[in-house]
Chains A and B, each alone.
Chain A
Amino acid sequence: MKQFKFILSLLFSVAIFYGLNTKFGSIPPIGKFLNPYTGIWQNERSTEDFKDLSQLDGLTSPVNVHYDEALIPHVFAQNDLDLYRAQGYITAQHRLWQLEFQTRASAGRLSEVVGSDAIRFDRGQRRKGMVFGAENALEKMKEIPELVKNLEAYRDGINSYISSLSPADYPLEYKLLDYSPEPWTLKKTALLLMYMTDMLAGGDSDLEYTNFLKKYGKERFDLFFPDFYDVNDPVIPSERDWSDFGEVSSPDIPGGDSPIAYVSGLLPKPHPDNGSNNWAVGPEKSYSGNAILANDPHLGLNLPSIWYAMQLATPEKNTFGVTLPGAAGIVIGFNNDISWGVTNATRDVKDWYKIQFKDKSRNEYLHNDQWKATTKKIEEIGIRGEKTFYDTVVYTHHGPVTYDASFTDNEELVGYAMKWAGHLGGNNQQTLLELNKAKNYEEYEAALTHFVAPAQNFIFSSADGDIALWIQGKFPNKWEGQGKFLLDGNNPAHDWQGFIPQEHNAHVKNPERGFVSSANQHPTDESYPYYVFNDGYEAYRNRVINDFFRSKEKFDIQDFKDLHNNNYNLKAAELLPHMIQNLDIAQLNPEEEMLLGEVGAWDYYNEIDKKGATIWERWWIQIRNMVWDELAKDENDMPYPFAYQTIYLLKNNPNDKFMDILETPEIETASDLFLLSFKKAAADIKSWKDRNGDYAWGEYKSTYVGHLLQALPALSRFNLPIGGNSGIVNATSQNHGPSWRMIVEMSDPPKAFGIYPGGQSGNPGSKYYDDFIDKWAAGEYLEILFMQDESSKDGIMFTQTLTPKQ
């Protein structure tokens, strides 16, 4: 009996030990997880143990870090190396998990942590050439030894923090997913920048356009996807003449055919709303005579926030702004002399080439009618709990063959290679560090020259009174139409023939109209001497912004705040009256009539209490789906025309064939669609009302900020009371919107306001995890503390000193 009891208790001990220390599916090892010594209880703290640290390896002088009430660190170092080392250390202190996780995602290494569910994602990242691009960027960065030293200091700062951690100190998400942090490397900084590049310049619809072209032909394509709309309020004002460019040459359109092919199974695209607003007024239009600048980048709303605010100061320079955890320096911000910001330039810098392989080995491909050798990279994808997966990616001189028979349903001898500006190897880091200390327009102009991708509209203002905007990136000098569709991988005339010279990138300085702005719209009008094609053309936010600046003489900071929070729905204002006018009211039942009344009385402002906004939104979604039902039903991936052109066609081409709904035997026209879509929208509203009650806009949109791990409810914030939508200046949709809002007046010293939907701490256990969110939703701002020196401690909550290892 004793032996039996012994064995039984032995078995139980082993079972319980195993059970408490092992991860089952997505449930963390519960013993480790709940142990007060090592588990989540150790993360129950709002600020880290900020003792003065006297062990920071590699510092040459002490660095003071003053934290204000918002937990924004104001860093005072004596030289650049100490500054970037401190930046790395501090960023790791507050955002370690995010820092690491984002680069893992970029590098296609999620399967190592979460298992085989992430294989397709990881393969996609490798095949897109994310690591390839990062390696090329790293080569470029190495050309500037001073930059390398600064990045190494940044890396070492992060690693000093990581090596000081015991498992009990790990951030919550490591305990949740049961893995440990890895040392940081320069390559990871490059990967982080690739992550942003992919988010902003990784979009293209070339293959979908090709599918459309093959099915419907060129004339139809040009009608639905015109290069210019009938109205255009471009980034660079039309008044700008380009005669200062002198001689301009572009390649001619080559003869020969473009390949037409149906391609499907395409990788997911970045969020189409990834974009932003920025604007600046010069001294003549400013209430104070000081230039004022504003920027609000639009990205997915995540926790921890993509941005981390900091002040970085040495005796030579003093900059405030937001940083990207993983990259050194300030990305969007200001110093005593200048301020700058970015919006996405949406230029099509990603093209696809149809590749013909010689045989199944894919060792050779056809270019210029000769067989050329490919190179192959064997990607190793580690998978938690399983064997490593090997994926062979074939490279041609164009770039990686993303789609081939091993990844999608292609013929064996065919592949699609990606030519992408993201692979070119740019030195975004150098641009950022130069902008951080730039003092005037010339230095800003020089800083931009290293910036290759993602193409951005860099806005600028200075204490000198200059305002400017450069559309900056490395842009291929294309023949007209090049890159819109699939290109022939064999035809050398289809290769990128060269690049637009840096000085010829579209730019403007101190325009007549007294303001500059961009909101992801057309960069220029037709007069620009180079061929331009974009992945997307905003047509609403830009007009609202520019009309505002044309509406009066002087602007102040409150005007800027009001504009950030402007909920005017221009799209609705341009289509709704037309639809209502052409609706046969006799066909509506009483409930529908009531809804029509509500939306008819709506003032086109997407405020949270407006029911009309919800009714419009459902009506717009329904009619858009009805017009383009042919595209949705097609077995191949088809592109949807943009909203502006869809509305143009509804108003001007009401009898077009596309208005017909395939499913029904009748042939519909636009007016029929208005009625049918309204009835569907009314049904949507009714079922929403039955399930959820109120259908006011705020309730319906239900904005949320989601944790990076697929918006885990426990760690995310839901139902935020904020209005707006995509296509509106306040571009807040359900999970996307202004990830940072900044306003800077170039007074002496500059006065600045900023806010983002998140918090400075990446620790869900901290009260600083999400403390900005309510303020952001309410349209409020933090007043930025821009310390000129360390003489006053006003507004400082506590200070930590990092001292060199003795």
Chain B
Amino acid sequence: MLAAFLSGAIVRLRKASAFVVPFLAIAVFWIVYAWLLSSANDFILAEKIAVLLPLGGNAVLLILVTGIVGGLAAGIAGLFGNQCRALFSQSDQ
């Protein structure tokens, strides 16, 4: 979350992209990384965790949820960073 906050503070994005861009960046990154780790092991654990959490044993769904969770954290932190920047840049003027 910290990294997303900082990048949100530095890079000026407008409106919705302040959330969407970090969201997508981290979501995709987590999905790919999780997928790589899991497919190397035939998704053995992913299927079990997808039973533990109410996802019906669907490993793909679990990977998607992983992406969403990561993306959500990144998106909100990025948005917050962006807001900080906006707040302070206003007071500059």
Residue ranges of A at the interface with B (Cβ–Cβ < 8 Å): 2-3, 5-6, 9-10, 12-13, 16-17, 20, 30-31, 34-37, 40-46, 172, 176, 712-715, 764-767, 769
Do A2 and B37 have beta carbons less than 8 Å apart? no
Most buried by B among A2, A13, A20: A13
0/1 string, B41-58, CB within 8 A of A gives 1: 111111011011000000
**Interface residues in B18-59 (C-beta closer than 8 Å to A):** 30, 33-34, 37-38, 40-46, 48-49, 51-52
Report the Cα distance A42→B69, complex, angstroms.
Answer: 17
Q: Give chain A residues whose Cβ lies under 8 Å from the Cβ of B80.
A: 9-10, 12-13
Q: Give chain B residues whose Cβ lies under 8 Å from the Cβ of A20.
A: 69, 73
Partner of A41, one of B38, B76, B84, B86: B38
Report the Cα distance A227→B48, complex, angstroms.
Answer: 50
Do B87 and A44 have beta carbons less than 8 Å apart? no
Extra pairs beyond A35-B70, A40-B49, A41-B33 (10, CB < 8 Å)? A9-B82, A13-B5, A13-B76, A16-B73, A36-B33, A36-B66, A37-B33, A41-B34, A46-B41, A714-B52
Instruction: Specify the main secondary structure of chain A where it touches its partner.
Output: helix
Instruction: Specify the main secondary structure of chain B where it touches its partner.
Output: helix
Q: Give chain B residues whose Cβ lies under 8 Å from the Cβ of A12.
A: 76, 79-80
How far apart are B27's CB and chain A's nearest CB, in angstroms?
Answer: 12
Do A44 and B41 have beta carbons less than 8 Å apart? yes
How far apart are A616's CB and chain B's nearest CB, in angstroms?
Answer: 35
Report the Cα distance A191→B65, complex, angstroms.
Answer: 41
Do B83 and A5 have beta carbons less than 8 Å apart? yes
Q: Give chain A residues whose Cβ lies under 8 Å from the Cβ of B42.
A: 767
Given known contacts A6-B83, A12-B80, A36 and B34 CB-to-CB distance under 8 angstroms: yes
Given known contacts A2-B87, A2-B90, A767-B42, A31 and B51 CB-to-CB distance under 8 angstroms: no
Do A43 and B45 have beta carbons less than 8 Å apart? yes
How far apart are A767's CB and chain B's nearest CB, in angstroms?
Answer: 6
Residue of A nearest to B47 (CB): A714
Do A765 and B45 have beta carbons less than 8 Å apart? yes
Q: Give chain B residues whose Cβ lies under 8 Å from the Cβ of A769.
A: 44
Residue of A nearest to B45 (CB): A765
Residue of B nearest to A40 (CB): B49
Partner of A3, one of B40, B65, B79, B87: B87
How far apart are B82's CB and chain A's nearest CB, in angstroms?
Answer: 8
A-B contact count (CB 8 A): 99
Q: Give chain B residues whose Cβ lies under 8 Å from the Cβ of A36.
A: 30, 33-34, 37, 66, 70
How far apart are A176's CB and chain B's nearest CB, in angstroms?
Answer: 8
Given known contacts A20-B69, A36-B66, A13 and B77 CB-to-CB distance under 8 angstroms: yes
Do B51 and A44 have beta carbons less than 8 Å apart? no
Q: Give chain A residues whose Cβ lies under 8 Å from the Cβ of B44.
A: 44, 46, 764-767, 769
Partner of B37, one of A6, A13, A16, A41: A41
Report the Cα distance A715→B57, complex, angstroms.
Answer: 12
**CB of B13 within 8 Å of the partner chain:** no
Q: Give chain A residues whose Cβ lies under 8 Å from the Cβ of B73.
A: 16-17, 20, 31
Most buried by A among B40, B42, B48, B84: B48
Name the 3 nearest CB pairs between A and B, nearest first: A765-B45, A714-B51, A714-B52
Partner of A44, one of B30, B38, B79: B38
How far apart are A97's CB and chain B's nearest CB, in angstroms?
Answer: 14
Report the Cα distance A3→B87, complex, angstroms.
Answer: 7
Report the Cα distance A5→B80, complex, angstroms.
Answer: 9
Do A16 and B72 have beta carbons less than 8 Å apart? yes
What are 8 of the A-B contact pairs (CB < 8 Å)? A2-B90, A9-B76, A10-B83, A31-B69, A35-B70, A40-B45, A44-B40, A45-B41
Residue of A nearest to B82 (CB): A9
Report the Cα distance A649→B5, complex, angstroms.
Answer: 78
Report the Cα distance A9→B34, complex, angstroms.
Answer: 28
Partner of B70, one of A34, A44, A46, A715: A34
Do B38 and A6 have beta carbons less than 8 Å apart? no
Most buried by B among A42, A713, A714, A766: A714
**CB of B60 within 8 Å of the partner chain:** no
Report the Cα distance A712→B53, complex, angstroms.
Answer: 11
Report the Cα distance A247→B42, complex, angstroms.
Answer: 68
Q: Give chain A residues whose Cβ lies under 8 Å from the Cβ of B33.
A: 36-37, 41
Q: Give chain B residues whose Cβ lies under 8 Å from the Cβ of A2.
A: 83, 86-87, 90
Report the Cα distance A42→B49, complex, angstroms.
Answer: 13
**CB of B1 within 8 Å of the partner chain:** yes
Report the Cα distance A764→B48, complex, angstroms.
Answer: 8
Do A44 and B69 have beta carbons less than 8 Å apart? no
Q: Give chain B residues whose Cβ lies under 8 Å from the Cβ of A172.
A: 45
Residue of B nearest to A39 (CB): B66
Report the Cα distance A765→B45, complex, angstroms.
Answer: 4
Given known contacts A16-B72, A41-B37, A41-B38, A764 and B45 CB-to-CB distance under 8 angstroms: yes
How far apart are A766's CB and chain B's nearest CB, in angstroms?
Answer: 7
Report the Cα distance A102→B84, complex, angstroms.
Answer: 49
Q: Give chain B residues whose Cβ lies under 8 Å from the Cβ of A34.
A: 30, 34, 62, 65-66, 69-70
Given known contacts A6-B86, A6-B87, A714-B48, A42 and B37 CB-to-CB distance under 8 angstroms: yes
How far apart are B28's CB and chain A's nearest CB, in angstroms?
Answer: 12
How far apart are A624's CB and chain B's nearest CB, in angstroms?
Answer: 37
How far apart are A707's CB and chain B's nearest CB, in angstroms?
Answer: 10
Q: Give chain A residues whose Cβ lies under 8 Å from the Cβ of B62.
A: 34
Given known contacts A2-B90, A44-B38, A46-B44, A9 and B66 CB-to-CB distance under 8 angstroms: no
Given known contacts A2-B87, A6-B83, A36-B33, A44 and B46 CB-to-CB distance under 8 angstroms: yes
How far apart are A164's CB and chain B's nearest CB, in angstroms?
Answer: 20
Report the Cα distance A397→B71, complex, angstroms.
Answer: 63
How far apart are B62's CB and chain A's nearest CB, in angstroms?
Answer: 8
